Amino acid sequence: MSASLEKGVRVLKEMIDAPIASYFSSCVHCGLCAEACLFYTETGDPKYTPIHKLEPMRRLYEQEYTLLGRLKKMVGLSKPVTDAELGQWQELVYNSCTLCGRCSAVCPMGNDIVYMVRKFREGMSAAGHAPVGIKGAVNRTVNIGSPMGVKLPAVKAQMKHVEEDHGIPIPMDVVGAEYLVMLSSMEIINFPEYLAAIAKIMKQAGRTWTLCSTAFEATNAGMQIGNSDLARVIVSRIVEGAEKLKVKTVISPECGHAYTALRWEGANLIGRPFTFKVQHIIEVLGEFQEKGLLKTEGFETDRLTFHDPCQLARRGGVIQPQRNLMNMVAKNFVEMPDAGYMNWCCGGGGGASAIEEGEELRLAAFKKKKSQLEAVKPDRLVTACANCRIVLEEGLEHYQMDIPVIGLTELIAEHIPDLAKSEGA
List residues binding ligand SF4 (CB under 6 A): 27-33, 36-37, 39, 50-51, 53, 97-103, 107, 109, 111, 113-114, 345
Give the whole-angstrom CA distance, residue 109 versus residue 348. 27
Measured from the CB of residue 339, what is the shortest distance to ligand SF4 in angstroms?
17
**Mapping DSSP to helix (H, G, I), strand (E, B) and coil, where does residue 28 land?**
coil
Residue 350 near residue 315, CB atoms below 8 Å: no
Measured from the CB of residue 22, what is the shortest distance to ligand SF4 in angstroms?
12
Strands (DSSP E) contained in 106-223 are 179-181, 209-210
Strand 249-252 to 209-210 pairing: unpaired
Measured from the CB of residue 39, what is the shortest distance to ligand SF4 in angstroms?
6
Element (H, E) at 138: helix 132-143
End-to-end CA distance of the chain: 75
Measured from the CB of residue 23, what is the shortest distance to ligand SF4 in angstroms?
7
Size of the chain in residues: 425
CA angle 54, 60, 64 (to 5 degrees): 145
Q: At what angle do helices 3-15 and 83-90 cross, to 10 degrees?
A: 70
Give the whole-angstrom CA distance, residue 407 versus residue 188. 14
Residue 417 near residue 297, CB atoms below 8 Å: yes
**Nearer residue to ligand SF4 within complex by CB, 43 or 82:** 43
Query: Which region holds residue 21: left if phi is over 0, alpha if psi is between -120 and 50, else beta?
Result: alpha
Measured from the CB of residue 150, what is the shortest distance to ligand SF4 in angstroms?
27
**Nearer residue to ligand SF4 within complex by CB, 97 or 339:** 97
Residues 6+ apart with CB under 8 A from 305: 333, 334, 335, 336, 339, 373, 376, 378, 380, 381, 382
**Nearer residue to ligand SF4 within complex by CB, 113 or 281:** 113
Q: Which phi and psi angles does 199 have, rounded to 5°?
A: -60, -45
Residue 70's CB: how many other CB atoms inside 10 A?
Answer: 13
**Nearer residue to ligand SF4 within complex by CB, 98 or 146:** 98
**Nearer residue to ligand SF4 within complex by CB, 267 or 363:** 363
**Nearer residue to ligand SF4 within complex by CB, 32 or 319:** 32
**Nearer residue to ligand SF4 within complex by CB, 92 or 202:** 92
Edge-to-edge strands, sheet with 380-383: 304-307, 380-383, 405-407
**Nearer residue to ligand SF4 within complex by CB, 38 or 325:** 38
Query: Within 291-366, where are the H helices?
Result: 310-313, 320-329, 359-365
**Nearer residue to ligand SF4 within complex by CB, 36 or 181:** 36
